[in-house]
Amino acid sequence: MKRMAVAAVAVLTGALATTVSPVAVAAPQPSADLLAAMQRDLGLDAVQAAQRLRQESAATALQRVAEGFAGDSYGGAWFDASTGKLVVGVTDAAKTDRLRQLGAEPRTVAHKASDLDAAKAKLDASPAPAEVTGWFVDTKANAVTITVKRGQANAAKALVDKAGSVAKVVETDEAPRLLKDIRGGDAYYINNAGRCSVGFAVDGGFVSAGHCGSPGDSVAGADQSALGEFEKSSFPGNDYSFVRANSSWTPTANVNHYGGSDVVVSGHAESAVGASICRSGSTTGWHCGEVQAKSQTVNYQEGSVSGLTRTNVCAEPGDSGGSWVSGTEAQGVTSGGSGDCTSGGTTYFQPVNEILDAYGLTLTTG
C-alpha cells in the first residue's frame, strides 16, 4: 500500500509538471474593485495586478504538489512577488532539482515545517510576559519569530528556551491592540453593572443618554472589554452624555439594524413632525414609527428633562442611549418612555444636534 501511495504522488507530480506554470493556470476573472485596490495598495498598474493574480493562482496549485513531493523534508513555502514564483524550502537538498522542474524555486533550509509548528505549539501553551507582543512561524526566515517591545529582548528568554534552536527574537515598536468598531445601537456596560446602548459615534468616542452614567464612570463594550469612560454627562434637565473611547475602538458611521445591513449615517439634518423614524437599541433591536411632537418636557421620577422629541416607537430598559435615524440622517438618542415592544408605547429621544452643539462634537458620517 505504501508503494502505491508513493507511485500516486509520482504520477501526480509528473502530470502537473507541465501545467503549473503561471501561464497555464487560469485564475478567476478579477473584479474591477479588486484590481483597483491592488493598484492602490501594492503600487501596481492594471496589467501588473492581473499578472500577479495569475502567478499567485499558479503558486497555490503548485504548493500542494510541492509539499507532497517534499514529504517530511518540507520546510514551508511562500510566494516571491519579485520573481512571480513559489519558493519551497526543503531540508533534503537532493529534492531541489525535481522541485525546480515542477516550476518552484527550491531553497535548502535547516528546519522542517513540522518542527516549526511543534515549537510554536509549545509557545501557544506557555504564559508570556507583557513585553512579548507575539510569535509566529516565519516561513521565509525558517524560524519561529518572537516579537518583543523595543529594548526588551531579555523578556523572551524563557520562550526562546522552550522553542529551542528554531527561535528568533525580533524587537519591534509595534504594540498590537484589538481593533473594534463603535456602532450605534450596540450594547455597552457601565461600571461592570448597568447596560445602555450606543447612540452615535463621534470623533473620540460616542454620545448616549445622560442618565446612563456620570463623568468618570467606566464603560465596557458589548464584548465586555474596556471601551473608555464617561467624560461628560447631563441629567436631569437634559439627557445626554459623551463617552471618551480608548485607542482600541474606532468610531464608525454605522448603526446596528439588528437583522439587516447596518445603516450608514450620512448627516444629522432634523426631520419634521410626522416623518418616519427608526430606533436601534440593545434590548429590543430595531423598531420604527413616526415623530409626534418636538420640544416636549418629560417629568421623570428622577427629574424633568426638556427639549425631547416624542414618538410612537416602542422601547424597553437597556435601549436607553440608542440611535434614532430618519433615512440615513441621525436624529437623537433614546431617553425614556412608557409601554414596551409587546403592547407598544411612547418613547422620547434627546435630539443629537443639541448634544453635538453642547459638547462641540463632530458626528462620524459615511
Q: List pLDDT tens digits, range 285-314.
A: 999 999 999 999 999 999 999 999 999 999
Between the two ends of the chain, the Cα-to-Cα distance in Å is 62
End of a domain among 108, 129, 159? 108
Check pLDDT > 80 for residue 218.
yes
The conformational region for residue 222 under phi > 0 = left, psi -120 to 50 = alpha, else beta, is alpha
| Matching residue, cell 484589538 | 178
Check pLDDT > 50 for residue 17.
no
Check pLDDT > 70 for residue 248.
yes
Across the range 81-100, mean pLDDT stands at: 95
Check pLDDT > 60 for residue 13.
no
The reply to whether 45 and 11 lie within a common domain is yes
C-alpha 217/C-alpha 175 separation (Å) is 26
End of a domain among 172, 191, 210? 172
The reply to whether 198 and 284 lie within a common domain is yes
Give the pLDDT of residue 21.
Answer: 41
Give the pLDDT of residue 177.
Answer: 66
Model-wide pTM > 0.75: no
Active-site residue list: 211, 239, 320
End of a domain among 55, 88, 108? 108
Q: How confident is the model at residue 184 (pLDDT cuts 50, 70, 90)?
A: very high
For 36-80, the pLDDT digits (tens) are: 888 988 899 999 999 999 999 899 899 999 999 999 999 999 999
The percentage of the chain sitting over the pLDDT mark of 70, rounded to a whole number, equals 92
C-alpha 166/C-alpha 111 separation (Å) is 7
Output the nine-digit C-alpha cell for 27.
Answer: 485564475
Across the range 152-177, mean pLDDT stands at: 92
Across the range 192-205, mean pLDDT stands at: 97
The reply to whether 87 and 119 lie within a common domain is no
Number of domains in the chain: 3
The reply to whether 280 and 153 lie within a common domain is no
User: Which residues pair with residue 107 across a beta bridge?
Assistant: 89
Report CA 18 to chain centroid distance, whole Å.
41
The reply to whether 124 and 264 lie within a common domain is no
Check pLDDT > 60 for residue 133.
yes
- How many residues are present in the chain? 366
What CA dihedral angle connects 181, 187, 189 and 193, to 10 degrees?
A: -160
Q: 96 lies in which domain range?
A: 2-108
Give the pLDDT of residue 29.
Answer: 73
The reply to whether 213 and 348 lie within a common domain is yes
Across the range 174-199, mean pLDDT stands at: 91
The reply to whether 187 and 292 lie within a common domain is yes
To the nearest whole number, what is the mean pLDDT of the chain?
A: 90
Check pLDDT > 70 for residue 331.
yes
CATH number at residue 87: 3.30.300.50
The percentage of the chain sitting over the pLDDT mark of 90, rounded to a whole number, equals 81
Give the pLDDT of residue 163.
Answer: 95
Q: How confident is the model at residue 28 (pLDDT cuts 50, 70, 90)?
A: low
Check pLDDT > 90 for residue 30.
no
Residue 190: CB partners within 8 Å, gap ≥ 6?
Answer: 196, 212, 213, 217, 218, 219, 230
